[in-house]
Amino acid sequence: MSNSTIYPSKTKTLRAGQKMDAFGPSCWWIALCTIFFLVAYSFSADFGKFEPDYHQAHLLTMIHLHQDGDFFQLLRTIPNSASGILPLWLYGFVQGFTLHKLISLCVFSCILIIVWRVTGLNEFGRYFLMALLISPMMISATAWVLPETFALLTLVLIYMLSVNYPTLAVVLSAILPFGRQTFIVLLFGRLFFWPKNFIAYVAGGLVALLSIALLVYIWGGLVPPNLMAVHLTPSVKSPIVALLIFSLYFFQQNVMSLRTAVLSVPRLIISFVVSALLVSIGLLQPPLFGGGFIFSRIEAYSFVFSWLFETTLLTLFFYSTLPNTIALFTLASISFATTNYMFLKYVDFYFFAFLAYGLSDIKEQFKSSFTAYARSGFAFQLFSISAAIIFYML
């Protein structure tokens, strides 16, 4: 499959008289989404209690990492942030929330620019940008200086460089775990989509593992010693709730696919049985310590309705989603087994990191599906921002 098939709008922008194909009415939607993002960002909209994270965790770590003394000892004694040591250290070179917020906006803007430049604002690029701009989690993460935004930029750069500069992608992979340890799952998950430069893919994974090993050596685990009692709280329910949330990002695409798909009874039965089993296990677990998105609220209302609703969602996900995508998000969900908390802001970054696979060197046959994924993700973000406004602002 040629690049013109994957990025048709980009090809058209290079032809005389065809520029409006890439900068047509859809770009007015991008402009509206950008205005919405900037207004919400300017007012420091908090769609998920990001403000306490900044003041009680991330700011403390910024200050802590810039104290006098042995730097490795400072790393071992981080007081209140389980991830993002590299971005928090970098942010710590300047002082004041306004400057930190401005740097965070620059980081987020870099992500937008890369998506814009690589896709040429084709349909995939437009939906990707709009989903980023109206995501309540990305708005608040940028406004309240969440270090995961830096880690997402690192992943996007790795994916982009994998196409023409694989050596640089490998080098950059070394810093990813210092931005967010668990994002290494997204780095390895690209295997499900057949990266063309397999040697570079393996090399990038190895250097990322070495970085993880260094953190484990420094901390004695995946998080700083002072935080192990809080962040290492193993849970069976968290991965199941994470998978349920992930299924919402694909809901629009999966429903649309039912209109043209040929019914496969065996696959439907298998999807239902697996879904029913997972949902039953999840509902029999104690409630999460925190989070759960809409699912915790529905479960508190009715066990029977929760079982029917959640089983239907997962059945649709397993039945209609491509097998490699199911494998990736199952793996991503399992990575949350170390925590008993499950907030939307945890998984939103995973989905956008997944969409960024479409910028990388994966096989062309898979790239064609990312337009539908981005469109479906945008549909979910419309629901998400509406729910966030109602819940947090009204």
**CB burial class (10 A; 0-12, 13-18, 19+) of residue 315?**
buried
The angle at the Cα of 100, spanning 98 to 102, to the nearest 5 degrees, equals 70
**195 pairs with which residues across the strands?**
362
Is residue 127 domain-resident?
Answer: yes
Q: Are residues 150 and 61 in the same domain?
A: yes
* Per-position b or e across 143-163, b if 16+ CB within 10 A of its CB: bbbbbbbbbbbbbbbbbbbbb
pLDDT of residue 301: 92
Rounded Cα distance between 235 and 284, Å, is 12
Is residue 355 domain-resident?
Answer: no
Q: Are residues 24 and 148 in the same domain?
A: yes
Assigned token pair, 282: 């999840």
Is residue 347 domain-resident?
Answer: no
> What are the E-state strand segments in the chain?
290-291, 341-342
Query: What is the residue range of 13's domain?
Result: 3-227
Q: Are residues 190 and 278 in the same domain?
A: no
Report the phi/psi class of residue 44: left, alpha or beta, with left for phi > 0 and alpha for psi in -120 to 50: left
Q: Are residues 81 and 223 in the same domain?
A: yes
Q: Are residues 51 and 163 in the same domain?
A: yes
Q: Are residues 295 and 211 in the same domain?
A: no
Q: Are residues 121 and 266 in the same domain?
A: no
- Find where tokens 């992979």 sit: 173
Rounded Cα distance between 54 and 64, Å, is 14
- Which residue among 322, 337, 352 closes a domain? 337
Q: Are 226 and 350 in contact (CB under 8 A)?
A: no
Is residue 136 domain-resident?
Answer: yes
Angle between helices 136-143 and 370-393 (to 10 degrees): 70
Write phi, then psi, for 284 (nearest 5 degrees).
-85, -5
Q: Are residues 148 and 258 in the same domain?
A: no
Q: Are 200 and 172 in contact (CB under 8 A)?
A: no
Task: Provide DSSP, 93-104.
Answer: TS-SHHHHHHHH
Q: Are residues 207 and 270 in the same domain?
A: no
- Which residue among 294, 316, 337 closes a domain? 337
Is residue 344 domain-resident?
Answer: no
Alpha-carbon 316 to chain mean position: 21
Is residue 346 domain-resident?
Answer: no
User: Computed over its alpha carbons, how large is the radius of gyration of the chain?
Assistant: 21
CA distances 214 to 39, 209, 218, 295, Å, are 41, 9, 6, 37
Rounded Cα distance between 247 and 275, Å, is 12
Q: Are residues 8 and 98 in the same domain?
A: yes
Query: Is this structure's pTM higher than 0.75?
Result: yes
Rounded Cα distance between 147 and 89, Å, is 10
Q: Are residues 206 and 284 in the same domain?
A: no
User: How many other CB atoms are there within 10 angstroms of residue 82's CB atom?
Assistant: 22
Is residue 358 domain-resident?
Answer: no
pLDDT of residue 117: 96
Assigned token pair, 50: 């990001």
Rounded Cα distance between 158 and 224, Å, is 26
User: How many other CB atoms are there within 10 angstroms of residue 224's CB atom?
Assistant: 23
pLDDT by residue for the chain (394 residues), tens only, comes to 333 333 333 333 333 333 334 444 578 899 999 999 999 999 999 998 899 999 999 999 999 999 998 999 999 999 988 889 999 999 999 999 999 999 999 999 999 999 999 999 999 999 999 999 999 999 999 999 999 999 999 999 999 999 999 999 999 999 999 999 999 999 999 999 999 999 999 999 999 999 999 999 999 988 899 888 777 889 999 999 999 999 999 999 999 999 888 899 999 999 999 999 999 999 999 999 999 999 999 999 999 999 999 999 999 999 999 999 999 999 999 999 999 999 999 999 999 999 999 999 999 989 989 999 999 999 999 999 999 999 887 7
Q: Are 201 and 229 in contact (CB under 8 A)?
A: no
Is residue 382 domain-resident?
Answer: no
3-state helix, strand, coil split of the chain in percent (to 5) is: 75, 0, 20
Q: Are 373 and 253 in contact (CB under 8 A)?
A: yes
Domain count, the chain: 2
Q: Are residues 261 and 330 in the same domain?
A: yes
Q: Are 338 and 242 in contact (CB under 8 A)?
A: no
